Chain A
Amino acid sequence: MWRRLLAIAVIGTAVYGLTGIGAEKLVVYTYSSFASWGAAPYIEEAFEQDRQVDVEFVATGDARMMLAKLIAEQEAGKPGADVFIGVEAGDLSTALDHDVFVPLTEDDIPNLASVRQDLLIDVTNSLIPYEHSYIALVYDSEVLAVEDLPRTFEALLEPTYENMIILEDPRTSSVGLAFLLWTIHQYGDPEYLEYWRKLLPNVLTVTSGWSEAYDLFLAGEAPIVVSFSTDTAYSVIEEGSNRYKILLPNSQAYRSVYFMGIVEGTQQLQLTKEFLNFVLSPQVQERIPSTEWMFPANRETLLPVLFYQNAVFPPDPVMVAPEEVGKNLDRWLREWSRIVVGG
């Protein structure tokens, strides 16, 4: 019986290896939600249409794990992908430090010209943005009436909100990291630690990732969660509900940008450039809101009406400069965990 199983395994491997022979291959590492619910299927289909190419999205974990995987492969001299989609702004300096991506110009990527200026954070353009959103607070309007909302950071510390806030772990979640950086931006270093100390009693839990946090929020465990300002659009469009609304503490939101890049060492340099350009094209960017629930990077894209009406575009987004993040992330995360863990 074991022999039969071994045969199955071997044959399965062989079959797997045999697919994709013939066409040129483009491997894209990305995070699982992009590959599954996101724009990936459309991109794959459309890109393959006119070209003799096989696009393969590999997304077996969250963005950070995929990046770790890519970096490990790079160090071994065998990068497994040609393109990476999904570096968040908070990880920008880390990614750039490892020299994984190829610097680009508008000559390489014509559509780069249409990208919003404020999103072009990487001056070398080794990583270029494809979508963005804003980190804010999302609340359950059935639990919190408008008068009861915590409208400032300080208000969040009030005892009325005990055990009412769901946060994400900045070590494991980009959203969590964004929120942490936001508090650092607001209060400065090291005063932000004091803020966290006072905030903790009001925090129900600090989850490892955004989906866990949102899961808890939807299950009604707590009425406030740190999430994206585009979430209301999802609620209205997909669930027909007005229940979940956005709150901008201090009338601010924190910028969250997602980047993509060409992996150093790719054999398909030209093809990858075309690919990135394609992702920035209006045809793809149009699909970003309804698949990614984010704002498109291409400023010339038209947003669907309902999305436009319900997603919140903050007037005054803030952000900590990537170089600052790069210099201090290690220390900040360590200090943060000293306060929170066992706190």
Chain B
Amino acid sequence: MVQDSSGWLKTNRAGRIALICLPLVFLALIFYYPLLRLFQEGVVEEGRLTFRYIQEVFAEPYFRHVILFTAEQALLSTLLAITIGLPWAYIFTRYGFPFKDTLRSLTIVPFVLPSITVAVGFILFFGNNGHLNRLLMSLFGLEGPPLRLLYSLKGIVLAHAFYNAPIITRMVHAKWERLDPAYEESAQTLGAGRVRRFIGVTLPMLLPSVMTGAALAFIFCFLSFPIVLALGGARFSTLEVEIYTQFIVLYQHKTGAALAIIEIVLSLLFTYGYIRLEGRFTQELEAAPIRPTIPLLRRRLTLGKGTVWLFVAASGVLFLGPMVSIIVDSFTREWAGRTVLTLHWYSYIFQPQHEALIGAAPLRSVLNSFQVGLAAMGVASLVGLPIAFVIARYRFRGRRGFDTLVMASLGISSVALGAALLAAFLRPPLQLSSGLVAIVLAHSILAYPFVIRAVVPALESLDRRVVEAARSLGATRLQAFRDIELPLIRRGLLVGAVFAFAISLGEMSATIMLARPELKTMPVVVNDLRAARSFGGASAMSCLLILVTGGAFIIIERFGERLFGGERWSR
């Protein structure tokens, strides 16, 4: 029985049901239908249901190895992400320092960078001939590179930690800074030392947020594709790579579909786990006051602060190194065996006329990215908001299952998605002739889960009495939504929307399958430039991408909101 805590008459209810069903119908059409069409190839043969292909996959040691490896690298990456993310959460919680808010906003930037950029940055910085190794070699007069991190599991795990440590940091920090110091203080009065206090009191209370962040990080690492390829190479095949091979190279649609099904089932399981954890996590985030911080830059250098600085330096190397390398690369050029500083790549990027290399002026791709990004943001918000409403406001059996299902696009192989959409858009009933619409739809599908995840906590933390108060004063349900709920969740919605925008900016795999030349977005151009041997140009374009993404996030954080950390109306 659906219990709506503030529902009313049947006529209104019909209207509301329509409003909520609309995005679901939309999703069913452009996401679930194409997906099922694709999947049915894996389980239907000659009109009959068969699990033969799935069984074949599990029977082959090779595929089992691939699946296990995918999980193994995801697990190791998550552990490293926690190892890096947790201390940063501590730093943010305990210390105050100038530009702390800006820094906190920027922590999410690695997450939305296109993997192609991150891969290049890592190679330039951590590679055997990268800046770090060369620096170490010249400092210590070494023969060969001392840090062989890349082209191995180490490289993959490191890059994944780069992406995902910020998520852990944000989630744990959001919880930690509202943890009542009274718990630790009472332990202190009972004689517990610092370490014991942390292990016995603080850590158990932080555990839900750590687990939630870890679950999310695990899902992303599990589905990671370009990073594994670029930094690991073919020796470290994951499920995604196999799916690509089966579909694109071998035209083995049945095996490919079987693999895609296995992948999405596993992702759905992880997503379900994440949702259950998240429920506990946001529930416990009460409107507690934020604990006070100690200024970091005060003169006294204690042992504690010393370790902090050391850690900051080390992780600074991890996060800034690759990005600085890309920036440096965009300003240099090889000529006659020498490296010279130049603005060549940037002038090339910014020239306004049609450039053969790209198929359009490079700036055009920036415009395309924005066009597509804004449209995708709009569609994702329109789809995500009503669904978030259903999840937050209504209590019904199987609610978490429903939540998991709508988050399914988070766990879908981008190759499979591209192939599915392509096949579905070619024929009725979904036949589309416009590439632009197809791309916007694909991006929206990939982005709307983030809108949901940002809005649901905002809705849940909203006191329902406020809506009732509005109604008792004369507002209809819709007016109450417009006047009260919408402004209060506006920030959550904004966060989700901007996140959707950023996801769209960085998306490449699905776009490649659906795009046309004039519609190339920035990541696609980065890819093309690399294919055209214009590696410097690719770096310049990447820098532009970093700038735009970073800028977008700084802007939203000025509103004082935090994604993946829950939200509490404070002003």
Contacts and interface: CB of A to CB of B under 8 A. Distances in A.
Q: Do A and B make up one complex? A: yes
Interface of A: 1-2, 5-6, 8-9, 12-13, 16-17, 32-33, 35-37, 40-41, 56-62, 64-65, 68-69, 71-73, 76-78, 94, 98, 163, 169, 171-172, 200, 204-209, 211-212, 214-216, 218-222, 234, 238-241, 243, 329-330, 333-334, 337-338, 340-343
B164 interface: no
20 contacts: A1-B378, A9-B437, A13-B436, A32-B527, A33-B531, A36-B357, A37-B532, A58-B516, A65-B513, A69-B513, A71-B251, A163-B128, A212-B530, A214-B533, A221-B127, A239-B336, A241-B336, A330-B252, A337-B237, A342-B235
B230 A341 contact: no
Most chain B CB inside 10 Å of its own CB: which residue of A171, A207, A240, A333: A171
Given A216-B123, A243-B337, A9 B234 contact: no
B552 to A, nearest CB: 16
B356 A37 contact: yes
B422 A72 contact: yes
Contact of B335 (A239, A340, A342): A239
Given A37-B357, A60-B513, A341 B66 contact: yes
Nearest to A67: B248
B229 interface: yes
Contacts of A12: 371, 436
B250 A333 contact: yes
A282 to B, nearest CB: 21
Interface stretch (B78-86, B392-400, B426-434, B466-474): B426-434
B230 A36 contact: no
Interface stretch (B262-270, B281-289, B517-525, B553-561): B517-525
A69 B512 CA distance: 11
B382 interface: yes
Most chain A CB inside 10 Å of its own CB: which residue of B230, B528, B531: B531
Given A9-B437, A216-B123, A94 B251 contact: yes
Contacts of A78: 426-427
Question: Ordered nearest first, which 9 A-B pairs have the shortest CB separation?
Answer: A220-B129, A205-B233, A206-B234, A205-B151, A41-B356, A5-B378, A37-B532, A169-B234, A76-B426
B120 to A, nearest CB: 7
Given A8-B375, A207-B230, A61 B513 contact: yes
B251 A13 contact: no
Contacts of B234: 169, 171, 205-208, 337, 340-341
- Would you call the interface of chain B mostly helix, strand, loop, or mixed? helix
B437 A35 contact: no
Given A36-B357, A341-B65, 18 more contacts: A13-B436, A32-B527, A33-B531, A69-B422, A78-B426, A163-B148, A205-B150, A205-B151, A208-B241, A211-B533, A212-B230, A214-B533, A219-B127, A221-B128, A221-B129, A239-B334, A240-B335, A241-B334
Given A69-B513, A207-B229, A211-B531, A57 B359 contact: yes
Contacts of A219: 123-124, 127, 129-130
A241 B356 CA distance: 25
A13 B437 contact: yes
Contact of B528 (A32, A40, A72, A220): A32
A32 B436 contact: no
Most chain B CB inside 10 Å of its own CB: which residue of A60, A61, A207: A60
B58 interface: no
A177 to B, nearest CB: 9
A172 B123 contact: no
B168 interface: no
B359 A35 contact: yes
Contacts of B230: 207-208, 212
A165 B165 CA distance: 33
